[in-house]
Structure 1
Amino acid sequence: MFGIEINLMFIKNMFKKLYMMAILGASVACHATPGQPIKVAGSKNLEPDEQQAIVCKEVTEMITNYNYKKIKLNDSISTVIFNRYIKSLDENHNYFLASDLNDFDQYKTQLDDDLQNGELNHVFYIFNVYQKRYNERIKYSLDQLNKTYDFTQKDEFMFNREDQPWVSTVSDLNKFWDKRVKYDLLNLNLATPDLTKNKETLKKRYENLIIQSAKLNNQDVFQLFMDAFTESIDPHTNYFNQSNAAQFNIDMSKSLEGIGASLSSENEYVTIKTIVKGGPAERSKLLTVDDRIIGVAQGKNGEFQDIIGWRLDNAITLIRGPKGTTVRLKILPKGKTTTNPKIVELVREKIVLEDQLASKEIRTYNSNGKTVKIGIINVPGFYLDYKAYQAGDKNYRSISRDVKLIIDSLKAQKVDGIVMDLRQNGGGSLPEAIQLTGLFIKTGPVVQVRDVKNRIEQDDDDDPSIAWNGPLAVLVDRFSASASEIFAGAIQDYGRGLIVGTQTYGKGTVQSAIDLDKVIGNSFSRLLASVKGKSAPASTGTPTSFGQINLTIAKFYRISGSSTQHKGVIPDIKFPSAIPLDKYGEDTEPSALPFDMIARSSYTPVGNFAAVIPQLKTLHDTRMQTNVNYKNLLEDIADYKKRDAEKTVTLNEAELKKQHEEDDAKTLAHDNARRAALGLKPLIKGEPRTKDKDADFLKIEAGQILTDYIGLKPQS
């Protein structure tokens, strides 16, 4: 079995945090001896370290030798990596000057050699110029708050400059940032018409950006560049540094070892935002939401480290730790001053993220006067607590085990059908996709896998037991990917259930998570000597962690022989997609592998929906003609396309206020139309919108389609 199947959504969202910043300034031209850091005058220069050089070489070797795509680095690929790296820094062309890009041009075809040699000074130089520009831009923005603003002028701000040329002069870039500051201030003024107060709010916001910029370290730069490299080769081969690898594995297992509290950074304080029920933090009854952690000590006698002003990820690393170990926290209760902190001692435990596990609900429908009960199972990811599984823990959590228990409870409640909701499910464990499919079929192939040597392996469900043999539907959307597509594709190929929703993502590749500590550990001295160009390495101490690479090692295929790559799974009953198909999906990734097919597996379908699908579509379409939520969804999709094409926004207060009021009125009208259809009283302007279980009409409609099928089944 090939390792794990990577969670797509985790990867796509994980790195969009501190990196996307802004900068301006004069051109910085500077050259240095190869292998030496290139200094940027007037800037805090971040520099690569020896460990990063080693990781760079090792990851490059793995990708060029073992990645499924079998690609060799050359000047053409180097240019792609360079362009992606620049885009990740300044996608909107707001910060660099044209002269900066002219200076960087010398590295465009150099990066392939740099990667193979572990040379990182060039990419760090580019980032240091970027950070210099960023700080200059934010400081310039702060200075503009002293100006007098006229919001009655007819003027526009071009917020989307992605297709615009790089600005040539500082004065031209200043003109853009003048409007950027004015737009920020105008938005605050529309909410609260107090210009003095709003300027102070914006001042604090800009000052905080400078503070956060100062917290960036060389790991951030290295991670950003490695993202540009790996995603230029293959969108799903990824390198994770230590903290990101830890977060990835938490996402895969839906558990962590710690105190049972989520944290955020607010005004330089690490602040408790939520407390996990049943965890050490809750049971102590000594911590509450909005308490601030100002110091952390390990064990009963360790010295406290002051963490005020720390980056959140560094603070979390101190607070988390192996279960059974003790951590002491210096707590500043909400509203208290720093003169009176309290000490809280906690023993870390394994925390299961219950809110991210499979869950259920039962909905009732009417079919020709008969009540039909439909169980809806939310499947947020194909998680597996692999560490607990390896340790022999009989109670390890996995999606297939959790869903099996849920199905048993739904059967006890005598449901007539089950909807598996896989929307927003980016994947997870490949074995779990097979196990989950096995809950609905007797035995047989589930997925085919072709490795780098073109060997094809068929993975079967060998367990003859079936957890649910009744009516089944699978609800998917554009962000259903990877393991979700294996499951949905197998259910569709067997004719075991109806697939409803929108075309899925189209990720048909398999990744294996490789712990670089295990790979590099034994050869650390040899690699370090190679990087330094010496016969024997200097003493470097023990590295904290080399991180992890998730390497694409195979491609999976449906048992019908079709790949899900690019095309995804096409539903039997299609819903309109609120997620733009032309912006999100494997077919929008330039470096993605192509669609292809292999031979069909030997399997016997257990059902065929061909005869009833036209009837189900007719019933669905008829309902949607009078469905208020469906009408609103179509309008929202049209509005999104219109707004997405816009590149400018007015800076006239009256005009912008009118736009906001029209948008708010439309949203309120949509809400009240939905509430009227549910028999609820309308909301008035300004009244808070409450969540209700009937808001998700696509989920309700999936259950209705299955109910229709149950009604038609005796005649089919």
Structure 2
Amino acid sequence: MKTPLARATLLVVFLSALLASFAHSAGNPWDELEPSRKQVIASLNTVELLRRYHYSKLLLDDARSRLIYQGYLKMLDPSRSYFIESDIKEFDRWQTRFDDLLKKGDLEPAFTLYKRYLDRASEQLDFILAELGKGIGAMDFSRDETLQTERKDAPWLKTRAERDDLWRRRLKDEVLRLRITGKDDQAIEEQLTKRYRNQLTRLAQTRAEDIFQTYINAFTGSYDPHTNYLSPDNAETFDINMSLSLEGIGAVLQSDNDFVKIVRLVPAGPADKSKQLAPADRIIGVAQGNGEMVDVVGWRLDEVVKLIRGRKGSKVRLEVIPASNAPNDKTSKVVVIIREAVKLEEQAAKKSLLHLTRQGRPYTLGVIDIPAFYLDFKALRAGREDYRSTTRDVKRLLDELKQDKIDGVVIDLRNNGGGSLQEATELSGLFIRQGAVVLVSNSNGQIDPLFAESDGEQAYYSGPLTVLVNRLSASASEIFAAAMQDYHRALVLGGQTFGKGTVQSIQPLNHGELKLTLAKFYRVSGQSTQLRGVIPDISYPTLIDTKEIGESSLPQAMPWDSLNYPSKNSSIPANPFTPYLYELQKRHDQRVAANADFVFTRERLALNQRLMQQTEVSLNETRRRAFQQSIEAEQLALENTRRKAKGEEPLQSLSEEEGDNGLQVEAEKPKPEKDAWLVESGQILLDWLDLSHSALASH
């Protein structure tokens, strides 16, 4: 017997199907969409700018046409669940022609392909709504069915019947996920019906500009992931593709199939200070204040951004799937963030003291946390002598640390996404006497070295130094860390960095803008920071998945290479660390073998990697719940083992970790002695002092 909601849903679905049938008979709202003259000219301008100025000087030929074609299909149908084999066979006639079409300004095939996607998506949404109209009670969750969750390389579905069966299974999967979170069937029907009706509405609102932007970005994306077309709306209102920085919560976002994924948190931003969001978390809902949660699954990135942005001081609620979940676990939590602008003072470098004891002797190390490379250009241009910059602040902090009679310094660049190249170069000058810090290779083949200069005969700080990095240390952070490593000035510790070693510039078009890769960064060793980033001298385990976050996770990322540049510099000393690296690594391994935080990270990483191998989920409710419970029990056991080793109270459930019901709490930064990665970096620095002093004494 159907519930009143089910009957109402059935009526809505019937009316939707009736309207859809009428729309199909009268022509879809997107049938008349055609490229404009401005778009044709913009496409021709883009072709010419890429030909003349892109760093790689790549040919627009049949091989690139295939890349454009595959990239366009992936943008439209990343999970191969809309198009069927006959569609692809029809489209294949264009796969080596997009180069010629672009050179002529012919956009018609791109529009034809996109409109076919709209047809197929509309058909599938009608199908899903009809299935929901039958009621969740009509679904059989006792059958031993499975769903393939990783379909990016799956064969194209042969028939509509196969496609319908895939979507039927997907619907069962969504219902199961929501049941496991505790929602009843009535609430689930309401949520999913609203989700798919909204998606159907957004399809009908597709504009020619949406088609043009997607296609041109498939074209530019065949060169590298940072060369992007910005539509007039995006270029005018906010630069999503340039930095994705959202004034209000402080997060860097990107599209991830039907989800919007957090790439990184802006240091000192509201999201970062809340300590409740993390890289690779996926946003599935947005609510204003205490208002209704809007389901944003399947929405475009710019639409989600508009919901998240808002007035300073206002509250936004985000429903997110945490990255810490098992790969196929879509259970979510709600986080409350108060929107505010990120202040320069909060991103400024800060110092702290790390107190360690070695063989009964106390040591004091200075820790300088640099969240970003900043320079107050406005104050500098105004001629103010007290303008703020990373280098000026770090210099002042070093003076203060010298007063504390420190034994060494740890520069903490974890999560530092970069910023001012000038500051990365000048900061290097505090730690080396002089020399090139980075080489900038331009598209015309010219190589420009950027130099650091010390104020005196010696570096401003010449004492023991380590630099701590992770996967979210990017761009300017990588340049500084690489310089410290290449000049043998510091031991670099932590995780492999992001690997963004390219430079972009905005080029105006007659219609929108083009963000174009014009140059590439190289280390003084001649090696690029592109793709590989900086490899630490001693590596720490990390829970950040390099397949999800980092340059190597991006399609068509430019390759790593090296320059034959005469960068041998008499000021670069022999590497003092080389004779001791084996012993440093050995001592590190012995220490962290039983360190609770390191053990937890290694074992949780192993669990995640094991779960990543599973590309199917059960649609049998009993088995699904049992599997979910087993994974949660394993995660809880790992967490409680860590807590027990650290003398902390165990948790009864993983939900206890989330804090005050998802409310924003501005967590205080823990003391350095509580940060296992900082402590280990300090211990390695003391190992180096011990070994080098012993070597000197033996001579």
- With the shorter chain as reference, the TM-score category is 0.7 to 0.9
Question: Which residue, out of 502, 509, 523, partners 1:558?
Answer: 523
- Rounded to whole Å, the distance in 2 between the matches of 1:713 and 1:701 is 18
Question: CA 1:639 to 1:212, structure 2 compared with 1: closer, same or farther past 3 Å?
Answer: farther
Q: 1:317 to 1:425 in 2, by over 3 A?
A: closer
Return the letter of the residue paired with 1:94. S
Structure 2 stretches of 5 or more lacking a match?
Answer: 1-16, 18-24, 253-265, 271-286, 293-301, 318-339, 660-666
Out of 30, 37, 43, the residue aligned to residue 44 of structure 1 is 30
The aligned counterpart of 1:188 is 178
Equivalent-residue separation in structure 2 for 1:213 and 1:697 (angstroms): 49
> Which SS does the other structure have where 1:235 is aligned?
coil
Number of equivalences: 590
User: Partners of 1:507 and 1:75 in 2: how far apart?
Assistant: 28
Counterpart amino acid of residue 660 in structure 1: Q
Q: What letter corresponds to residue 487 of structure 1 in structure 2?
A: F
- Offset of residue 597 of structure 1: 3.1
Equivalences for residues 202-351 of structure 1 within 5 A: 202-213=192-203, 217-241=207-231, 244=234, 247-248=238-239, 290=289, 311=303
Distance 1:653 1:243 in 2: 45
**1:189 positional shift:** 1.1
Q: Does 1:674 align with 2:661?
A: no
CA distance in 1, matches of 2:527, 2:74: 34
- C-alpha distance 167-333 of structure 1, shift in aligned 2 (>3 A): closer
Q: Deviations over 1:273-316 (max 9, x none)?
A: x9999xxxxxxxxxx981789xxxxxxxxxxxxxxxx9565689
CA contact (8 A) 2:348 2:371 kept: yes
Instruction: Tell me the SS of whatever aligns to 2:222.
Output: helix
1:509-520 aligned at under 5 Å gives the runs: 509=502, 511-516=503-508, 520=509
Letter in 1 for 2:571: T
Amino acid at match of 1:459: L
Q: CA deviation at 1:155?
A: 1.4
Partner of residue 513, structure 2:
547
Of 538, 547, 571, the residue aligned with 1:604 is: 571
* Distance in 2 of aligned mates of 1:263 and 1:677: 34
* SS of equivalent residue, structure 1 residue 233: coil
User: What's the CA shift for 1:183?
Assistant: 0.7
Taking the TM superposition and a 5 Å limit, the aligned residue runs for 1:149-188 are 149-188=139-178
Q: 1:332 to 1:367 in 2, by over 3 A?
A: closer
Provide the C-alpha distance between the structure 1 equivalents of 2:520 and 2:269, rounded to a whole number of angstroms: 38
Deviation track 1:51-109 (CA, whole Å, cap 9, x = no partner) reads 43333222221111112211221122111111011112212111112222223223322
Aligned to 1:622: 590
Question: 2: CA distance between counterparts of 1:695 and 1:43?
Answer: 59
CA distance in 2, matches of 1:135, 1:232: 28
Deviation at 1:424, TM superposition (A): 4.0
What does residue 57 of structure 1 align with? 44
RMSD: 4.0
Which letter maps to 1:450? Answer: S
* Secondary structure of residue in 2 paired with 1:475: strand
C-alpha distance in structure 2 between counterparts of 1:660 and 1:416, whole Å: 49
Which structure 2 residues correspond to residues 353-392 of structure 1 after superposition, within 5 A? 358-384=349-375
Match of 2:78 in 1: 91
Per-residue deviation, residues 628-677 of structure 1 (Å, max 9, x unmatched): 33233222232233222222101111211111112211222222222222
From the superposition, tell whether residues 130 and 387 of structure 1 become closer, same or farther in structure 2 (CA, over 3 Å): farther
- 2:694 aligns with 715
Taking a change above 3 Å as real, the CA distance of residues 429 and 371 of structure 1, as seen in their structure-2 partners, is same
Correspondence for 2:441: 450
Question: Counterparts of 1:213 and 1:385 in 2: how far apart (Å)?
Answer: 44
Higher relative contact order (CA 8 A, sep 6+): 1
Q: Could you tell me how far apart the structure 1 residues matched to 2:584 and 2:84 are?
A: 57
Tell me the equivalent position of 2:188. 198
1:105/1:424 Cα in 2 relative to 1: closer, same or farther (>3 Å)?
A: farther
Displacement after TM superposition at 1:621 (Å): 0.5
SS at match of 1:189: helix
Tell me the residue number matched to 1:568: 533
- Residue 280 of structure 2 aligns with which residue? none
User: What amino acid does structure 2 have at the position aligned with 1:612?
Assistant: Y
The answer as to whether partners of 1:67 and 1:553 remain within 8 angstroms in 2 is yes
| Aligned twin of 2:607 | 639
Deviation at residue 169 of structure 1 after TM alignment? 1.8
Q: Does 1:489 align with 2:500?
A: no
Q: Deviations over 1:467-486 (max 9, x none)?
A: 53332211223443433322
* TM-score, with length taken from structure 1: 0.72
Task: From the superposition, tell whether residues 252 and 201 of structure 1 become closer, same or farther in structure 2 (CA, over 3 Å).
Answer: closer
Residues 87-139 of structure 1: per-residue CA shift (max 9 Å, x gap): 12212111112222223223322322333344333323322322332233233
Kindly indicate whether the alpha-carbon contact (under 8 Å) linking 2:464 and 2:490 is maintained by their aligned counterparts in 1: yes
Name which of structure 1's ranges 601-610 and 93-102 shifts more when overlaid on structure 2.
601-610
1:651 pairs with 2:650: no
| Rounded Cα–Cα distance in structure 2 between residues aligned with 1:397 and 1:215 | 47
TM-aligned CA distance change 1:122 to 1:651, over 3 Å? same
- Which one is further off, 690-699 or 638-647? 690-699
Q: Which amino acid aligns with 1:496?
A: R
For residues 110 and 396 of structure 2, the distance between their equivalents in structure 1, rounded to whole angstroms, comes to 51
**Aligned partners of 2:560 and 2:250: how far apart in 1?**
40
Counterpart residue identity of residue 87, structure 1: K
| TM-fit CA distance, 1:491 | 0.3
* Contact 1:567/1:595 (<8 A) preserved: no
The answer on whether the counterparts of 1:253 and 1:383 sit within 8 Å (CA) in structure 2 is no
Name which of structure 1's ranges 153-162 and 198-207 shifts more when overlaid on structure 2.
Answer: 198-207
**What amino acid does structure 2 have at the position aligned with 1:630?**
F
* Superposition map of 1:127-166 within 5 A: 127-145=114-132, 146-147=134-135, 148-166=138-156
**Secondary structure class of the residue paired with 1:372:** strand
CA 1:261/1:685 → structure 2, altered by over 3 Å: closer, same or farther?
closer
Where structure 1 has 5 or more consecutive residues not aligned to the other structure, the ranges are 1-24, 26-38, 265-273, 278-287, 294-309, 321-328, 335-348, 525-542
- Which stretch shifts more, 77-86 or 669-678? 669-678
In structure 2, how many angstroms separate the alpha carbons of the residues matched to 1:460 and 1:613? 29
| CA distance in 2 between partners of 1:263 and 1:617 (Å) | 35
The match for 1:501 among 489, 494, 500 is 494
Structure 2 length-normalised TM: 0.74
| SS in structure 2 of the partner of residue 364 of structure 1 | strand
| C-alpha displacement of 1:156 | 0.8
How far does the alpha carbon of each residue in 1:663-697 deviate from its partner, in whole angstroms, 9 at most, with x for none?
21122222222222222111222551157837853
- Report the alpha carbon displacement of residue 40 of structure 1 after superposing the two structures with TM: 11
**Cα pair distance change 1:587/1:162, threshold 3 Å:** closer
Q: Secondary structure at the match of 1:227?
A: helix
Q: Percent identity?
A: 35
Name which of structure 1's ranges 200-209 and 242-251 shifts more when overlaid on structure 2. 242-251
Between the aligned partners of 1:395 and 1:133, the Cα distance in structure 2 is 60
CA distance in 2 between counterparts of 1:255 and 1:397 reads: 23
CA gap of 1:641–1:315, structure 2 versus 1, over 3 A, is: closer
Whether the 8 Å contact between 2:467 and 2:490 is mirrored in structure 1 is yes
Question: Within 1, Cα distance between the matches of 2:182 and 2:310?
Answer: 40
Matched residue SS, 2:221 = helix
